[in-house]
Structure 1
Amino acid sequence: MQRRTAGEHLSAVVPAVGSGRRTENRPDVRPTIDKNETTNHWRTCEICSIQWKSPSEFALHLREKHCTKEGGSFVCRYGTHGICPSLPLEGVSDKDYEFHVARDHVADDGYTNKINPLMAKQTRLTNQAPSIVSDQHKWTVYSSSVNLPAVLNDPRKSRREHDFFTKTWGEGFIENTVIPPSPHLQIITKANFEKYLNKTASKLKCHKVQSSQKQAPRLPAVTDKSQAELQQIPKMFFRGDFALENPETFQAVLPWSQFKSRGVGQSSKLLQEKLSHYLDSVEVELARQISQRSTAFFTAMASHDKLQDNLISTCSAIKDLRERITAVDDVLAKRSLETLGYKISRVNHAKVFNKLKLMATVHQTQPTIQLLLSTSEFVGALDLISTTQEVLTQELSGIQSFRHLGSQLIELEKLIDKMMHEEFVRFASSDLNRPIDDDTGPDEEKLSSIILGLLRQHKFSFLEDYKNESTTSIKTMVKQTVVAAVSEADSIDVEGNLGSLADQMRLLNFTEWLQMFKIVFINLAKLLHRVKMTWIIMYRLIDFAVGKSTSSAGDLVEEESENNAESSQSDAQSDPQKDIAPDADILIAPVEHQRLSSGLKEMLVMLCNYAHDRSLKLLIARGKDGFLEKLSSSEFVSLSRSIESFVTQCETVCGKRSSSLRGGLQNQANKFVNRFHEERKTKMSLLLDNERWKQAEVPASFQDLLSAMAKGEISLALLARMDQGNEECKAAEYVEIDGNKYAVVGTVLMLLKMVAEYCQCVEDIPSVTLDILTRLIEILQNFNSRSCQLVLGAGALQLVGLKTITTKNLGLASRCLQLISFYIPIVKQFFAERLLPRQMTVLRSFDKILKDYNDHVQEISNKLIAIMDDTFNHCLSKWEVKAPVPSLTFREICKRIRKIHEAVVDILPPEQIKDLFIQMNNSFKTHLNKQLIILNVTNDGGPKHGLVTSELVFYTECVQLTSGLDKLDNMNDIWVRR
């Protein structure tokens, strides 16, 4: 593009619409209506066949009739079958729809400029150089926004009538950034000139004032006449978007309606004269303005010519410098550069040779991988794949012969992942399902190859796979053991029995079933030991993968066998960062190591719990028909000890306590205790209902048992002896404990035997101590309350047909209660030694029972005294003081006393008999005192006093002879004091 002169720039500002001359001499002003009629498409709607006067009306018609709004988008329907070929079917925004109509359907430049001038400018610059496709990443002179010659000669810049600079040099002139950034220029902003502007601000202000004062007289004032003439010109001619191609502008300049009304010839002449007048006024004003600024114009032209001369001299100097540099280059630099070039060429040839050698090595990658896979070297194969991919990416990038090798290696890596997974599952299955008596450890080399390969690929699902295989093996092993036990049992017809395996197992007797249960425990322990050996190898490999230095698998096995579960767990929870070798090959991160270690520990605990669950199912299946509840204490103890042994072995393997199998055993133990208690409770109830409250003989086995219990010892041999019976030893009449004799009934002996059985059950099954204690308390309470109902409440009269409750029955019941009360503190001490500290509060129940028993004994004693009190009251109420002496009344009283003594003398101890008769004597004196008061007999020495004294002598001798009392209390208190 050629530079314009200053005159050309100025002349381009004024539209060439007329200059006061005739129209035929100015062909530029002819309208181009015919051209618009052939190029604009807004005249007629092709679908509705309606003609329009302006593009805006046509655009409004398209919006109302040939546009649909779907959601917030506008879809154009102006086209065949209601589809616009130049707009997306999903629609556009309102603004984009206006651009689309102006560009594709209206096709009018004036309307396009009106809608979006920037879009019109971009449309005109679409095909201009430089190309934005090829030059978008390249900096050229066109990228500069502050290079004045580049801006003036940039063909892409369009005219805009904003101000002088943007109109002449384009919109990009005002930009102050370089886009794209130039590698040679730094970005200059206004901040770079702040210091200079502040320094020169005062001088510039003074210069402007002086210039304005000097130039002000030179500028002639605009005359009022020229100003009035310029104001008569329509403002439309001064607009920046003035163009006769626009129909509205053309209609305003050439009003055809005036031509039709006045005549074409006359109207055109008047219009031409008016336009010529406008042109003359503008030219006159322009000439006046140019004449006023001629000095500045010629000064600028002179400066421009001087600048061109300086540029010519500069170019000559540059040409001379280049010629001298070329001569120096030929003489001094060319040969040296050729030597350097040869050296660089040699280096390049060596690089090519090395690259070819590397390509040959990479070419052998796939055969090498196949060879490694054939020997199960998964880690080596994966390392080779990783190294090859790294070489392809960094050193052999872009080589066409290897363009498919990368994808092939990726697929091969996926295949190796699948092979390792299948190989691990196959290895785990074969290792777990080999014969249970095979004590050899797993193939450590093969397992290490598989595990390290999986860890390198960060495939951690092998823990879940091994867990599934282990649970399947445990389940299968338990089932096979049960099948073998059922098939070997002689008492079961396997062929004729069509029931399930559980039904067949229930047909085994306890001995066969317990033997089968023990075999299941043995096999499970061996299988868990096998799992633990594999677990140790896995744990060592995980430590190795994170870089920790560990010992061999054999050393770890020995260490695990020597250490307890607690120490092994503390080792498993150690810090992954500890003991990391500096030159170790890290395959997994410390976080992944921690997660895998936790997963391994959880897996081992889970497998032990699963073994407990499978064993618990056998226990529940066998106890479904109440079989386990009917076991004897010894049988249940054998079962309990077998389970406890297996649970201890599992705790040694996993280091944690499992509660499922213990819980199942506890549940069965509770059922056993319930059945155990209900049987003895029912038995005790039947014994009490049939008890005639007569003294029973005491077998020697009972005597031995009670003697041992008195010392706090309970022996299984004694209980077995009692169950078998011993006819060789003669039975005794009394139970002798610590030199005291106890006359008892048979029910009390059975009760004390039951107490011994309860205590022995606690010895055998410590987990049910609390339950046994509560039930023992219950049976002791039941005996006390039931015996009270039968003896004191006379319930035995109806149940066993007794005629009356005799004094001997009462004394026997009292002595039985005293014997039981003797053993209650001993039993309490027995349970106190076996209860936990938090359970000691239950022992208070023994104190309450002992108090109840003592109160019951006291009630029986009161009952005996009450019987004699009624006798004394009945006899003395009819007594009279008269001869003969002793009277019949006193004879009857002494007879009754002798009978009571005969009833209790062989049952109660002398101390209790003495206390009993002392209380009876007190009751006698009370009633005698009342009767003497009634009879008005006093100790006045008279005849009646003598008769009463003789009666008392007879009574005293009888009581002392009967009860064994040395002397009675003073009998003088029977007399009323005067």
Structure 2
Amino acid sequence: MATDSRYARHFSSQCGSLYPRECELCLPRLKFHDQAQFARHLRVVHATKEGGSYICHYGENNVCQKLPLEGVSDDDYETHIRRVHCVPLQQSKLAVHDPREKEFTLTSFTQNLSAVLSDPGRSRSEVNAFFTRHWGDSFVPPTTIPRSTLIPPISDQQFIAHSKNTSKIYKRYHGTKRVLASLQQPSTCSGESDGDDLPLMLMDPLFHLSDERTFTEMFIVPPKGTTDPLTVTRCGRTVVSIPHEEADGRNPHGSFRDYMLLSASLESFHDVVDSRLSTRLVAKSAAFWQMVHSYGGLHEELADAMADIRKVRSNLQAVANLVCERARKIMRLYEKREKKQKLLAKLYDVSCLREAQTTVQMLLNQSDYPKVIECIETSEEVLNSELSGVQCFRHLGSQLRELYGVIGRMMLDDFASLIQKEFGTKPEEGVLLTYDGELSCVLMGLIQVRRFGFMSMVRTEIMEALKGILRHEVKLHIVESGLDLTDFDPTLNQLGEPVRRLKFSDWLKTVKDVTKEFFDFCKRVQNLQDVIHESAERVRNNASVTGLNGSPFVSEDSLQLRPPVDLSSSDQDVAFGSAGASTPGDTSGDPAALLAVEIRSLPQLLRTASILTEFAHHCAQGRLCRLLIARFKLQEGVPDLTSPEQLTEMITLLREYQQDCADQGWHKVEPVVVSPLSMCLQKLCLEYIERFHTQRRSKMSGMLDAELWKASEVGAEFQCLVDESLRTGRLKNVPAPSLSVGGEAIIVDNTPYVVVSSALVFLKILADYCECFVALPEFAADILSRVVELLKGFNSRCCQLILGAGALQLVGLKTISVRNLALASRSLQLIVHFVPFVAHEAELSLKEDQKHLLRHFKQALTDYGDHIKEITSKLVSVIDHHTTNCLNNWEISSSVPSSSFQQICRQMQKFHNGLAGIIPDDQIKSLFETVHEHFKGNLKLHLARIGISPHDSLKYGFVSQDYAFYAQSLRAMSSCSDLNVESLNDVIYGR
């Protein structure tokens, strides 16, 4: 009981100094200020409840070693927490343990593992998770590691041989390891040095009893509460020689120590020091004798090694005498032979260099420039490498360099003359290049000396040749065409005007022959390009084989002989009148710009030469563009007589030429769509469409301004145009038969149209636009915008002249009659009938993304319909005006019919006669129905105003007779015979 009470008092006193404390398992660390908080944390976080038992997990690997794995009850768990986990961390050192209490460890478990795992009360998942649940997730069951395939199997014989080889070294290693372990073995003071557990005062090297302080600390009892100097050691442990409580009780502070106790302490210290010194001496002696034995063994091994070395040296001496000396002699003989061979080679080079100039002269006489260049380069290389410093050849290098430059200039002159002769004459049939052999030889020489300026010569000669071909063909066809040349320059230096005077057939033949000559010339340039490419490849292959990367005489000023030619400058030699405009389509990426770049290397020459034919084709297109511009550049006031069919024929011819060139692969750098010829054709077509539109717009305006608004006689050509259009469904011009005679009206689907002459001319203009749609489908959108503009212009101008009374001032009409209005309406109806034909032709030519432009035709038809309705309203308003005036002047009398109704009938008859023969009967009937409805309304209002009703029988009878006369006159008209005329009662009462 005394022990329990002492434990409780000690526990309560230590818990006060324990808190606040942290949980050792939770991260981040949680701090608790009292025992209750910590116990609650353990119960909630570090414990699990299974059934009625609590299992504690507050420990390493989440396993508490103080509690059974099966858990305990609630009260036992609370006691366990209070006694085990809520105590201070150093409970084993601070608390007073009950000696009767045994420590509970992992070996204290007495459960049978097989019985626990086979317990029928446990589920399968509980059994499977048994080890990981109690021993943590890091538990890994033992497994058999398979044998590695990377380690080869070792047999017993191999292991025995290895053991014999390493046993001696291994034994020596173990002996050294034992000595090292004995030297590193800790002393009696638990690992410290020999003097660390002895009092510091006695181990002080200045210890002397004559010192007052040392004497006092040695023999005088220290005060209570202070440390005794005889008990303080270096390792921190207190030396306990006698119980201090008893010694301090007998000897008070300041008195001398007890002699017996002090003597016993010093004797114990002496024994300790003596025993340790003896141990050290024994260890040192063992080490000494071990060193002696080791020295003897090393001496014996050294003697054996020296004997082996003497034997090896004697053997090496024998080998040197028998083998090495003979090999050295052979090497010396070989070196002498090599030196003599080099000397012989140099003498041979000297003999060759003496004949170098003679050989070069002989090759020059044979015009074999590649071999000349090769001979000079080889001589220079030998002179610089093998024979450098030879006095007899000190001037040969400068002579070779001078000769090298002269040969380069000679080759350039020869190439210029050859290329001029090649391009200046037409080769025989089936032959592309006349001087291909000479050109190949000169080209290889020029490429070897890196005189790449010949490409500028080729470029210039191509341009001059194309210019000459064009001038020759054009002059030839001008002379053959039979033109009167007295009006032109007899030298034909200015070809613009004669080209414009050519008939279209002669012009088309000229274009055809020019394109054929240009195509043949481009094929010749293609052959020249192949020759240049082949020569460059041969030079490059020879350089790669011989290891020469270039000529040793090349300087920067010799890379380019002539400055690049400005291709954008206008040609002053040939001027087609004022048609010297710049060629369209010039871009920085065209072949001309690429070929104008200065050439400085062989790869650059290969790249540039590969587009030589395309450059020739580009220049040919430029010349064709100049020819086309000269042809279609018309003077002011001169009409363009070219028809759309003729323009289409010319464009087709040029497109075939472009396609042939594209098939030859001459459009790699510059696509066909952006080539100068394509851009020029597009520009010419747009200009032609604009001229075409301007001429027809002027023609239409002139016809309308001079129109007298009388019925025109219809010519046979117009009737044939309408008949053919209705038969084929496409509006187009047709030649009129010579025997046909025109009529007074144009028949459309068995319906006569009496129209003015302007409408017929405008119909023919629309047929011209339809033909233009067929001829130039690529420009259908541009043509559509202009034909819509023309339709709107015709409609608005008719409206101004008729409804706006503009014709009164222009042609001197006295008034705008009903007949004029009827002719205008019928003319507009004729145009409306054929607008769908034009829209259909445009739809066939437009692309899918341009079909939305057809809405302009619908808008034009709407405008025409509105205009026709305005004319009809104008006609109705004219007769309404007369009837209203007559009704206002009407006096009801016994004279029947009255003069007012007679005047109304005469005006209506006159109105009918003005419309008859122009407007069809059904339209006249519809018009008179409208007039009759307006008359009924006016009559009803007038009768109501003057107070006439059926109740006034006398006046009502007079009115009925006048109205009967009006109805009889109305039915007497040919177009209104079946017109429904109501009775007077129906008019008055609105039935």
When normalised by structure 2's length, the TM-score is 0.54
| Cross-structure match for 1:270 | none
Change (3 A) 1:879 1:344: closer
Which 10-residue stretch deviates more, 944-953 or 850-859?
944-953
Which of 612, 615, 620 is 2:621 aligned to?
612
Kept in 2: contact 1:623–1:629 (CA 8 A):
no
| Aligned equivalent of 1:700 | 716
Cα distance per residue 1:739-759 (max 9 Å; x no partner): 332221222111111221233
Residue number among 632, 640, 647 corresponding to 2:642 in the alignment? 632
C-alpha spacing 1:358/1:592, structure 2 compared with 1 (3 Å): closer
In the other structure, the counterpart of 1:99 is none
SS at match of 2:717: helix
Q: Is 1:486–1:492's contact at 8 Å kept on the other side of the alignment?
A: no
CA, structure 1 residues 372+837, in 2 after alignment: closer, same or farther (shift >3 Å)?
A: farther
Q: Does 1:729 align with 2:740?
A: yes
Give the residue type in structure 2 aligned to 1:614: R
Q: 2:525 corresponds to which residue?
A: 531
| Cα deviation, residue 868, structure 1 | 1.3
8 Å contact 1:432–1:473 — kept in the other structure?
yes
Q: Secondary structure at the match of 1:736?
A: strand
For the structure 1 residues 485 and 973, does the alpha-carbon distance in structure 2 shift closer, same or farther, using more than 3 Å as the test?
same
Residues 711 and 626 of structure 1: CA distance in aligned 2, closer, same or farther (over 3 Å): farther
Spell out, residue by residue over 1:448-479, the C-alpha distance to the aligned partner (whole angstroms, 9 max, x if none): 33334444444433322211111111222333
The one-character-per-residue Cα deviations of 1:494-551 (angstroms, maximum 9, x if unpaired) are 7995676216953873225655454433333322222122223334555566669xxx
- Provide Cα deviations, 1:711-752, integer angstroms capped at 9, x if missing partner: 666687x54x24xxx451232333222333222122211111
| Partners of 2:905 and 2:966 within 8 A in 1 | yes
Instruction: State the percentage of identical aligned residues.
Output: 30
Q: Using a 3 Å threshold, how does the CA distance of structure 1 residues 774 and 865 change in structure 2: closer, same or farther?
A: same
- Among candidates 412, 426, 429, match of residue 435 of structure 1: 426
1:933-961 CA distance string (max 9 Å, x none):
11112344844444444444443344344
Report the secondary structure of 1:741's partner residue.
strand
Give the superposition deviation at 1:855: 1.4
My pick for the range that moved more, 333-342 or 735-744, is: 333-342
- Conservation of the 8 A alpha-carbon contact between 1:521 and 1:646: yes
Distance change in 2, residues 1:629/1:448 (3 Å): farther
Cα distance, 1:380 vs structure 2:
3.6
Letter in 2 for 1:926: G
Which of 917, 920, 923 in structure 1 is aligned with 2:928? Answer: 917
Q: Distance in 2 between matches of 1:769 and 1:820?
A: 21
Equivalent position of 1:419 in the other structure: 410
Match in the other structure for 1:820: 831
862-871 vs 798-807, greater mean Cα deviation: 798-807
* Matched position secondary structure for 2:797: helix
Give the corresponding residue for 1:933: 944
Matched AA of 2:622: D
Alignment of 1:783 with 2:794, yes or no, is yes
Cα separation, partners in 2 of 1:465 and 1:971, compared to 1, 3 Å: farther
CA shift for structure 1 position 915:
2.1
C-alpha contact (below 8 Å) 1:492/1:504 kept by paired residues: no
Residue 805 of structure 1, CA deviation: 2.7
* Equivalent position of 1:850 in the other structure: 861
- Seen in structure 2, the aligned counterparts of structure 1 residues 545 and 758 have a Cα distance that, compared at 3 Å, is farther
**Residue type of the partner of 1:929?**
K
Whole-Å Cα distance in 1 between the matches of residues 839 and 630 of structure 2?
Answer: 37
Matches within 5 A, 1:338-377: 345-377=336-368
Give the 3-state SS of the residue equivalent to 2:494 in structure 1.
helix
Distance change >3 Å, CA 546–CA 850, structure 1 → 2: farther
- Aligned-partner residue type, residue 606 of structure 1: F
Q: Given that residues 631 and 672 in structure 1 are in contact (C-alpha distance below 8 angstroms), is that contact kept between their aligned partners in structure 2?
A: no
Structure 1 match to 2:699: 683
> CA 1:938–1:521 in 2, change beyond 3 Å: closer, same or farther?
same
Letter in structure 1 aligned against 2:518: L
User: In the aligned structure 1, how far is the partner of 2:484 from the partner of 2:791?
Assistant: 44
Q: Distance in 1 between matches of 2:919 and 2:981?
A: 20
Query: Is this contact kept in 2: 1:486–1:505, CA < 8 A?
Result: no
Pairs within 5 Å for 1:250-649: 345-435=336-426, 438-442=429-433, 443-485=435-477, 490-493=482-485, 497=489, 501-502=493-494, 506=498, 509-511=501-503, 515-542=509-536, 595-621=604-630, 626=635, 629-633=639-643, 640-649=651-660
- Aligned partners of 2:713 and 2:745 also within 8 Å: yes
Residue 647 of structure 1 and its aligned partner are, at CA, apart by 4.6
What secondary structure, in the 3-state scheme, does the structure 1 residue paired with 2:752 have?
Answer: strand
Distance 1:599 1:393 in 2: 34
AA in 2 matched with 1:433: G
**CA gap 1:676/1:957 in 2 versus in 1, 3 angstroms:** same
Matched residue of 2:845: which SS?
A: coil
CA distance in 1, matches of 2:694, 2:860: 20
How far off its partner does 1:435 sit?
A: 2.0
Counterpart CA distance in 2 for 1:927 and 1:491 is 77
2:308 equivalent in structure 1: none
Q: 1:515 to 1:413 in 2, by over 3 A?
A: same
Cα distance in 2 between the residues matched to 1:452 and 1:642: 40
Q: 1:531 to 1:715 in 2, by over 3 A?
A: farther
Question: Structure 2 unaligned runs (5+)?
Answer: 1-319, 543-590, 592-598
Map of 1:7-46 to 2, 5 A cutoff?
Answer: none
Whether the 8 Å CA contact 1:483–1:501 is kept in 2: the answer is no
Is the alpha carbon distance of 1:367 and 1:838 closer, same or farther for their aligned partners in structure 2, counting shifts above 3 Å?
Answer: farther
Corresponding position of 2:894? 883
Say if 1:736 and 1:742, in contact at 8 Å, map to a contact too: yes
Q: Measured at CA, do residues 608 and 350 of structure 1 come closer, stay the same or move farther in structure 2, by a change above 3 Å? A: closer
The AA in structure 2 aligned to 1:521 is T
The secondary structure found in structure 2 opposite 1:606 is: helix
Offset at residue 859 of structure 1 (A)? 1.0
Instruction: Give the structure 1 partner of residue 845 of structure 2.
Output: 834
> Is the Cα–Cα contact under 8 Å of residues 730 and 837 in structure 2 kept in the other structure?
no
Cα distance between partner residues in 1 of 2:825 and 2:338: 122
1:863 aligns with: 874
Matched residues in 1 for 2:606 and 2:848: separation?
38
Aligned length: 605
CA distance in 2, matches of 1:660, 1:338: 81
Q: Is the 8 A contact 1:762 1:772 kept in 2?
A: yes
Unaligned runs of 5+ in 1: 1-328, 549-571, 573-589
- 1:41-78 alpha-carbon deviations (Å, 9 max, x no partner): xxxxxxxxxxxxxxxxxxxxxxxxxxxxxxxxxxxxxx
Matches of 1:421 and 1:859 in 2, distance apart?
84
Cα distance change of structure 1 residues 969 and 395 upon mapping to structure 2, 3 Å threshold = farther
The alpha carbon displacement at 1:877 in A equals 1.4
Q: Are the structure 2 counterparts of residues 341 and 856 from structure 1 closer, same or farther at C-alpha, using a change threshold of 3 Å?
A: closer
SS at match of 1:809: helix
TM superposition score normalised by structure 1? 0.55
Letter in 2 for 1:471: M
User: What is the CA distance between 1:431 and its match in structure 2?
Assistant: 1.5
Secondary structure at 1:975 match in 2: helix
CA distance in 2, matches of 1:776, 1:342: 104
Q: Which position in structure 1 is the counterpart of 2:980?
A: 967
RMSD (Å) for aligned C-alpha atoms: 4.1
Code of the aligned partner of 1:600: A
Cα offset for 1:619? 4.2
